């Protein structure tokens, strides 16, 4: 067999091997992308969803302004701690060189501490009385609401359909206490943040299923 007749067969085999190599590389590439996408999806899981009860059910409500509440509470808490530390240093005799006399500085720090403490309790009241997530289990017909305490630890509030009462308060009371009551405790719940209107009506007992 001549060399010229062997060239097409050699070229064909080389092309097949090249295509197979490219296919292998593309398969490995997409498998790698799939792994990275899966890991990214796992990493996107919020820390506030960790360690939920196994029977929590499906997420039906998510407060869209939750990060504003979180950041406001953390900022106010850090401010209170900083002012309290400065006041403790001043009371212990520590002084800095400034254009103001000691009495003025002490008075300013004291007023700032009182104001920040009032602001802290206000921020804490909003944090502890705001429902951030609500889950519903169809089989047990129970809602699980998530709120947080002073150290940002999750607090679970469970209730059945119809156990949430809508309270007609004034605008001032609605801002401070909310318009909903669960076990005779006031809470803030935003109706538009429900994924489905059905779960909102079910929570209030307007419908049975």
Question: What is the per-residue pLDDT across 160-209, written as a single tens digit (0 to 9) for each?
Answer: 999 999 887 767 777 777 889 998 899 999 999 999 999 999 999 998 87
> What dihedral angle (degrees, nearest 10) is formed by the CA atoms of 49, 51, 57, 61?
-20
**42 has a pLDDT exceeding 60:** no
In a domain, 209, yes or no: no
Boundary (domain end) residue, out of 127, 156, 177: 127
Percent of residues, the chain, with pLDDT higher than 90:
35
Looking at the fold, whether 135 and 198 belong to one and the same domain comes out as: yes
Kindly indicate the confidence band of residue 3, based on its pLDDT and cuts at 50, 70 and 90: very low
CB atoms within 10 A of CB 205: 14
Looking at the fold, whether 33 and 59 belong to one and the same domain comes out as: no
Predicted confidence at residue 148, as pLDDT, reads 93
**71 has a pLDDT exceeding 60:** yes
How far, in Å, are 24, 79, 87 from residue 114 at the CA level?
Answer: 68, 12, 11
Average pLDDT over every residue of 93-118: 74
Tell how far CA 13 is from the center of its chain. 58
In a domain, 39, yes or no: yes
Predicted confidence at residue 196, as pLDDT, reads 93
Q: What are phi and psi of 183, to 5 degrees?
A: 55, 40
Average pLDDT over every residue of 129-152: 93
Looking at the fold, whether 138 and 56 belong to one and the same domain comes out as: yes
Burial degree of 21 (CB within 10 A; 0-12, 13-18, 19+): exposed
* Structural domains of the chain, count: 3
Looking at the fold, whether 200 and 169 belong to one and the same domain comes out as: yes
Looking at the fold, whether 95 and 5 belong to one and the same domain comes out as: no
Query: What is the average pLDDT value for the chain, to the nearest integer?
Result: 76
Looking at the fold, whether 200 and 135 belong to one and the same domain comes out as: yes
- Do the Cβ atoms of 205 and 161 come closer than 8 Å? yes
Predicted confidence at residue 168, as pLDDT, reads 79
Looking at the fold, whether 137 and 118 belong to one and the same domain comes out as: no
Looking at the fold, whether 189 and 112 belong to one and the same domain comes out as: no
Q: What are phi and psi of 141, to 5 degrees?
A: 55, 55
In a domain, 78, yes or no: yes
Q: What is the sign, positive or negative, of the torsion defined by CA atoms of 185, 190, 196, 201?
A: positive
Residue span of the structural domain in which 25 resides: 1-44
The two three-digit tokens of residue 1, written as one number: 């067999």
pTM of the model: 0.67
Looking at the fold, whether 24 and 9 belong to one and the same domain comes out as: yes
β-strand 164-166 against 142-148: which pairing, if any?
unpaired
In a domain, 26, yes or no: yes
Give the CA radius of gyration of the chain.
30
Looking at the fold, whether 18 and 40 belong to one and the same domain comes out as: yes
Q: Which residues are paired to 188 by β-bridges?
A: 130
In a domain, 123, yes or no: yes
Residue 56 CB-half CA count within 13 A = 18
């Amino acid at each position: 067999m001549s060399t010229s007749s062997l060239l097409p067969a050699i070229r064909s085999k080389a092309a097949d091997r090249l295509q197979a190599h490219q296919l292998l590389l593309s398969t490995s590439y997409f498998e790698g992308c799939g792994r990275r996408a899966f890991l990214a999806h796992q990493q996107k899981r919020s820390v506030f969803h960790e360690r939920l009860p196994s029977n929590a059910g499906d997420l039906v409500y998510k407060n869209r302004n939750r990060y504003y509440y979180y950041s406001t509470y953390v900022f106010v808490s850090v401010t209170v701690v900083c002012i309290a530390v400065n006041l403790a240093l001043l009371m212990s005799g520590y002084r800095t060189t400034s254009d103001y006399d000691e009495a003025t500085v002490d008075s300013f720090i004291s007023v700032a501490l009182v104001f920040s403490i009032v602001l802290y309790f206000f921020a804490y009241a909003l944090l502890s009385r705001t429902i951030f997530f609500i889950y519903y289990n169809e089989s047990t017909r129970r809602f699980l609401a998530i709120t947080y305490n002073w150290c940002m630890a999750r607090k679970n509030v469970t209730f059945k359909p119809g156990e949430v009462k809508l309270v007609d308060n004034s605008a001032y009371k609605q801002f401070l206490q909310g318009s909903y009551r669960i076990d005779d405790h006031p809470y803030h719940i935003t109706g538009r943040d429900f994924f489905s209107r059905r779960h909102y009506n079910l929570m209030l007992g307007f419908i049975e299923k």
